[in-house]
Amino acid sequence: MMNRRQSMGSMVGGAAAAALAGVFAHGARAAEVVAEGRGKFRHSVCRWCFNRIPFDEFCRQAKNMGIESVELLAPKEWEAARKNDMACAMGMIPPRNGIGGIPRGFNRVEHHDTLFALFSESIEQAAKAGVPNIVIFSGNRNGMDDETGLKNCAEGLKRLMPVAEKHGVTLAMELLNSKVDHKDYMCDHTEWGAALVDKVGSDRFKLLYDIYHMQIMEGDVISTFKKHKDKICHYHTAGVPGRNEIGDTQELNYRGIVKALADIGYTGYLAQEFMPKNKDPLASLKEAIAICSV
């Protein structure tokens, strides 16, 4: 089972720059869908899943598919995306002294000073670079009850909201599964995350709804994101089980999911975050964009 932290060296790169000929799944080409104006939201892709493909080449191929953003990039990579005429819809900030990553986040009061320094600086950088969102994490429970974690996260985030509001950058806490990939992670259910959004009380704090992770934890993804649509600013994809392609070999109906996203009026980014099993990963990405173009 792969995750972001284990991704380096995981891809088969021989076919990375292969020709992308052929018909997409369901008989639609993503670029044609975008050109016809039928897209209700914008397409993005998480770089870490395709990190064996040279960045400039990857951006060029992704843009040809109708993708507008390459995301989960660190600040040092934001300028490279811009030079390739690609947005970075969701920035990712490297931890400082081990604080700020998935296991050690806002649910510990002792982390708050470091997190404030780290993210207040990053928010300003993001605003200057045109990066609208930064992903953040609750941290692991390590024996802490959820109510205390909720209180602590809200306290730490409220300190940052004036900075985020001033610069127009949204902090997006990611919903991750604690069953398979991120054992003991606290923000592992949508209701908990939604309660945190209410406690923080700022338009500059929202949730990153990862469809793969929430299917594992709670299922019922369409009803859930419809209920909490105003508290979610961004979405990620991947097939369940396995975190691989999103076609018909896995249990989620992504055609239905993206139609539901369009129906609720979502106009942000939907980011592909699957690990391709196909020896031609760009062909898998091309198929995913076709599936998710409505």
Q: What does each C-alpha distance from 172 to 193, 243, 271, 291 come to in angstroms?
A: 10, 21, 14, 25
pLDDT digits over 125-144, tens only?
Answer: 999 999 999 999 999 999 99
Extents of the domains making up the chain:
24-291
CB contact at 8 A, 211 and 246: no
H-helix or E-strand containing 57? helix 55-64
pLDDT for residue 40: 79
pLDDT digits over 149-195, tens only?
Answer: 999 999 999 999 999 999 999 999 999 999 999 999 999 999 999 99
CB contact at 8 A, 28 and 38: no
3 band by pLDDT with thresholds 50, 70 and 90: low
Residue 12 has pLDDT above 90, yes or no: no
Fold annotation for 24-291: TIM Barrel (3.20.20)
Q: Regarding beta strands 42-46 and 269-272, do their DSSP bridges make them parallel or antiparallel, or are they unpaired?
A: parallel
